Amino acid sequence: MATLPQPGWSPAFARRTQGASGELAAILALAAGTGMISFAGGLPDPRTFPVGVLAELTKRLLAGDAAVSLQYSPTPGLPGLRQAFGDRLAHTEGRRPQPGELMVTSGTIDAIGLLAKALIDAGDVVAVEAPTYLGAIDGFRGFQADIRGIPVDEDGVDVAAFERLCASNAPPKLLYTIPDHQNPTGITMSAERRTALVEVCRKHGVLLVEDVAYRELSFTADRPPTLWSLAPDVVVQAGTTSKTFFPGVRLGWAVGPAEVIAQMVIAKQNSDQCAGAFGQRLLEEYLRGHHLDPQLRASRALYAGRCHLMLAALDEYMPPAITWTRPRGGFFTWLSGPEWLDTTALARRARDAGLAFVPGRPFHPTGGGGNQLRLAYSLADDGQIIEGVRRLGTLIRSTMENR
Domain finish residue from 288, 323, 348: 288
Number of domains in the chain: 2
How far is 307 from 309, CA to CA, in rounded Å? Answer: 5
Instruction: State the Cα–Cα distance between residues 133 and 143, nearest whole angstrom.
Output: 16
Give the domain-ending residue among 235, 265, 288.
Answer: 288
Q: What is the CATH number of the domain that holds 364?
A: 3.90.1150.10
Q: Are residues 92 and 25 in the same domain?
A: no
| Residue-level pLDDT at 21 | 62
Label residue 403 exposed, middle or buried (CB < 10 Å: 0-12, 13-18, 19+). Answer: exposed
Q: What is the pLDDT of residue 11?
A: 80
Q: pLDDT digits over 26-69, tens only? A: 656 665 666 899 999 999 999 999 999 999 999 999 999 899 99
**295 three-class SS:** helix
Ranges in the chain, pLDDT < 50: none
| Torsion region of 93: left, alpha or beta (phi above 0 gives left; psi -120 to 50 gives alpha) | alpha
In a shared domain, residues 232 and 337:
no
Same domain, 332 and 221: no
- The answer to whether position 2 is within a domain reads no
Q: What is the pTM of this model?
A: 0.94
Statement to judge: residues 241 and 273 lie in one domain: yes
Residue 102 is inside which H or E element, if any?
A: strand 102-105
Half-sphere exposure of 201 (CA within 13 A, CB side): 26
Q: Is 265 inside a domain boundary?
A: yes
Residue 171: inside a domain, yes or no?
Answer: yes
Domain with 89, as residue range(s), is 70-288
> Is the CB of residue 120 less than 8 Å from the CB of residue 173?
yes
Q: Is residue 390, in this structure, part of any structural domain at all?
A: yes
Query: Is residue 324 assigned to a domain?
Result: yes
Cα end-to-end span (Å), the chain: 55
The string of pLDDT tens digits covering residues 152-189 is 999 999 999 999 999 999 999 999 999 999 999 999 99
Please identify, among 257, 288, 319, the residue that sits at the C-terminal boundary of a domain. 288
Cβ atoms of residues 140 and 128 within 8 Å: yes
- With H, G, I as helix, E, B as strand and everything else as coil, classify residue 207: strand
Say whether both 155 and 282 belong to one domain.
yes
5 domain residue, yes or no: no
232 and 107 in one domain?
A: yes
Say if residue 197 is in the same domain as residue 131.
yes
Q: Is residue 96 part of a domain?
A: yes
